[in-house]
Structure 1
Amino acid sequence: MAEIKENIVVFEHETLRFDKGEKKITKDQFEALERYYGNGKPFYKLVYNGVQFNEHVGVIQVGNTLIEVLPKADKIPHSKEEDKKWRNLLIGMLRTVGSFDIKSTSNSNLKIKPNTILDLYFELFIKEIEYLFHNGLVKKYRKKEENITTLKGSLQFSKHIQQNLIHKERFYVRHSTYDVEHTLHFIIYKALRLLKKINSNNDLHSRIGVLLLNFPEMPDIKVSDSTFEKLIYNRKNKHYQIAIEIAKLLLLKYHPDVTKGKNHVLALMFDMNLLWEQFIYASLKKNTTDFIKVKAQSSKFFWKPQNGRRTAIKPDIYIETYDGNIVLDTKWKNLNGFNPSPDDLRQMYVYHEYYDANKVALVYPGDNKNSKAGVYLKKDGKHDNKICSVVLINVEDQVLKWQEEIRRIIKQFISTK
């Protein structure tokens, strides 16, 4: 079990350096992050003697140091209470949207209270493997070659002669066997061994040990994106899908340190813009009695070249109401009193036109009192009938209250004449 000696908490867009600052990483850790960055990871950018995080949030484990990158939609400085608030909100948002399509009825029944996102995903994985054990591991037919004392299957004549010139009592054969040794279990076993190596939560340590003790030993395989793309699910193994998705997340995000062997990197990071969009959609979808229909990423074609593919537009959220259509585009940033960018406003104008919308809005986190309505102007400077508002949504301390606030504010925006 990995022993986390340090837990560094930063907010998105903050910088960590090894030469100065109240919070520091070591030079070795910076070099490990530099190598990881070389693999095309967009979670931060390299700056002088350090890294600056962007809109991605989550956790990066470098050796025995855990770096938590938390979201931030206000200017309140770091404190234990403030860090705890945003950590809980982030975990709550991930649970709400079922991040990475990991949707399980059991994930609200976790036995531990997660301190970080790593703990959350580790226990989700453990819980799914315990569930698979409870239901019995799935067996599959596979071809097997071996030198045995009974003749079964087909005799592999050349290899039989080569290996059994002296041992007349043996047969080198190829035959079908029905057992648990197949790719799904190779992946799970590899992920369990990784978990034992990097887990730092004492509450999970014994459960990982029990699983490894009971799980049949499997051959080690190299995994890549193609390993998971080749998997085929059917009615017999569909219940493996959640465990495999989490295993994929862990195995593909793990970057071993092949130079010094101690600063391995595991990054579970999430784009806050995408998470904010999914969170608002899930919050509105939770109570559809206020609307006729709520859709995410509803695309329409709006341009076609003479040769080639058409180009589509795709607003974040499309709502059908009894009084007309509404289009919302979500942005995770603090406007600080400024207007939205011209590009965003131009995009909303197109949505207005193509979706026959009564009105459209850009949705940001912030103080709802500072929300403002807006209209597009015609070429002569007169008001158009196209309405584009800036809607700010208050950040609440609890996820359920936050969802209620989202529904209240959006409903208020829709009903305002």
Structure 2
Amino acid sequence: MKKQKDHITVFEHESLRVDRGEQRLTHGQLEALQLFYGENGVPYYSLIHNGVRFNEYVGVIQVGRTVIEVLPKADKSNDAIKWRNMLITMLNAVGIFDIQAPSSSDLRLRSNSILDLYFELFIKEVEYLLHRGLVKKYRKTEGNRTALKGSIQFPKHLRQNLIHKERFYLKYTTYDKEHNLHAILYKALKLLSYINTNAQLNSRLGALLLDFPEVNDIKITEAVFDKLVYDRKSESYRNAIEIAKLILLNYHPDVHRGTNNVLALMFDMNRLWEQFVYVSLRKHKSNNTTIAAQNTKAFWKPQEGYRSKMKPDIVLNKGKEDCVVLDTKWKNINGYNPSPEDLRQMFVYMKYYGAKKVALVYPGEVSAQKSGLYYDHTSADSKDLSSEECSVISISVDKEIKAWQFKIHEQINTWCQLQELHN
């Protein structure tokens, strides 16, 4: 692991401490992470003595001016460049960076971290909007005017204009650039100019703040974004707003000292691996194959209350004789058996989906597969095996994302065909 100025790179499940290790947290940074963790905790890391241990979430946590980059790892390699590029290309493959506007057509995925990539994406989107011309919207407002245009608000007019007979206190409609879309973008630009640590982006941020119209400050909450409505003129704002939402809602200012603010942009690797396997299978699927992700099925109902449901990661050919259920796990089991919990889960999926075969899909250093039979639970002899089979598929990581996606398709497709021949 290589330490740079204001930049720490670790891998998932590794730790950072204040009292040991090549890379260390300052006491102020640890305190900021402890405050961010709070009483209810966050899924990104766990608190340990004098430090934190990262979980299966990857991405970036910025504490003050220090960027802590957490990378995935499914082999023994400590090559940060390899895994940073792998993470970025995986995110791009599943659509996290699927920005279709012309402004991102020449985007170079060579940033120092995911955070830099998000910042650059946002800057390019706002530059694109300014180049096209910012849209105006109608808004209702009120105030004193010298021309009678709108409806007079008599109580306020009498209070404010007893002396100034030339003025009218009116409620009227204005057509200008003062609206929530611009307020959100301006607030995000101001925040980025404050927290950005990439010197290459500073001049572009400064130019945008000079060119962007100043608008009234608004309090950012989830509800602000929920109320946004896009039309033909404002649809081009969607990408920039989505990135601004991610940045603004994940920013946690340090209210005590103001020096160790926290911005967390983290991704669940289990969820990302599941989506990556799904889009890889869809990319190469045949016409006679159906693929469903996160398909929900009820399996228990109490006399009162809500039903319990199961949700396998991927179901191939649901409802057909050749139905197959796949469950993805982002961990390298190194040739060992899956956990009993995972095997029991796959057995339930097989029963409730009427699946011909089920398999657990892992990343690995080498591609391999093995199968095992469940014991016959209907037999009086507990030593009897059934014909119900669960397979374990490990898929080696490839540096080229397209080659890796094809490898995923080919290995799972070959496994499916082998099971058909076997039966």
TM range (shorter): over 0.9
SS of match in other structure, 2:371: coil
- Counterpart-to-counterpart distance in 1, 2:81 and 2:337: 31
Spell out the pairing of 1:17-416 with structure 2 (5 A cutoff): 17-38=17-38, 40-76=41-77, 78=78, 82-99=79-96, 103-104=99-100, 107=104, 109-111=106-108, 113-289=110-286, 292-320=289-317, 324-379=322-377, 380=379, 381-416=383-418
Q: Provide the C-alpha distance between the structure 2 equivalents of 1:86 and 1:22, rounded to a whole number of angstroms.
A: 20
Q: Which moved more, 1:323-332 or 1:36-45?
A: 36-45
Provide Cα deviations, 1:227-256, integer angstroms capped at 9, x if missing partner: 222222333323322211111110011111
Distance (whole Å) between structure 2 residues aligned to residue 391 and residue 111 of structure 1: 34
The CA distance in 2 between the partners of 1:234 and 1:56, in whole Å, is 35
Cα distance in 2 for partners of 1:105, 1:365 equals 33
Give the Cα separation in 1 of the matches to 2:25 and 2:10.
12
Distance 1:398 1:279 in 2: 14
Deviation at 1:189, TM superposition (A): 0.8
Shift of 1:95: 0.8
Q: CA distance change for structure 1 residues 63 and 46 in 2, over 3 Å: closer, same or farther?
A: same
Deviation at 1:98, TM superposition (A): 1.6
Distance in 1 separating the partners of 2:99 and 2:213: 27
Q: Is the 8 A contact 1:291 1:319 kept in 2?
A: no
Deviations 1:295-338 (A, max 9, x none): 11111222222333332211101112997111110001121332
RMSD: 2.0
Structure 2: stretches of 5+ with no match in the other structure: none
Q: Per the alignment, in what secondary structure is the counterpart of residue 357 of structure 1?
A: coil
Alpha-carbon separation, structure 1, partners of 2:328 and 2:123 = 34
Deviates more, 1:343-352 or 1:83-92: 343-352
Conserved in 1, the CA contact under 8 Å of 2:45 and 2:52? yes
Q: Calculate percent identity across the aligned residue pairs.
A: 57
One-letter amino acid of the structure 2 residue matched with residue 70 of structure 1: L
Give a deviation string over 1:352-381, Cα, whole Å, max 9, x none.
Answer: 122222211001111445421112220333
For residue 334 of structure 2, give the secondary structure of its aligned residue in structure 1. Answer: coil
| AA aligned opposite 2:296 | S
Structure 1 residue 397 displacement after superposition = 1.8
C-alpha distance in 1 between matches for 2:20 and 2:128: 47
Q: Distance in 1 between matches of 2:10 and 2:215?
A: 39
Matched residue SS, 1:267: strand
- AA in 2 matched with 1:50: G
- With 271-280 and 308-317 compared, the bigger mean Cα shift is at 308-317
What is the TM-score with the length of structure 1 in the denominator?
A: 0.93
User: Partner amino acid for 2:410?
Assistant: R
* Mapped partners of 1:108, 1:288: distance in 2: 27
Cα shift at 1:108: 5.5
What amino acid does structure 2 have at the position aligned with 1:65?
T
Deviation at 1:111, TM superposition (A): 4.6
The offset of 1:348, in angstroms, is 0.9
Q: Does the CA contact (< 8 Å) of 1:102 and 1:245 recur in 2?
A: no
SS in 2 for 1:75: coil
- The 8 Å contact of residues 75 and 365 in structure 2, kept in 1 or not, is answered as no
The residue matched to 1:412 in structure 2 has which SS? helix
Deviations, residues 167-191 of structure 1 (Å, cap 9, x unaligned): 1111111101111211111111100
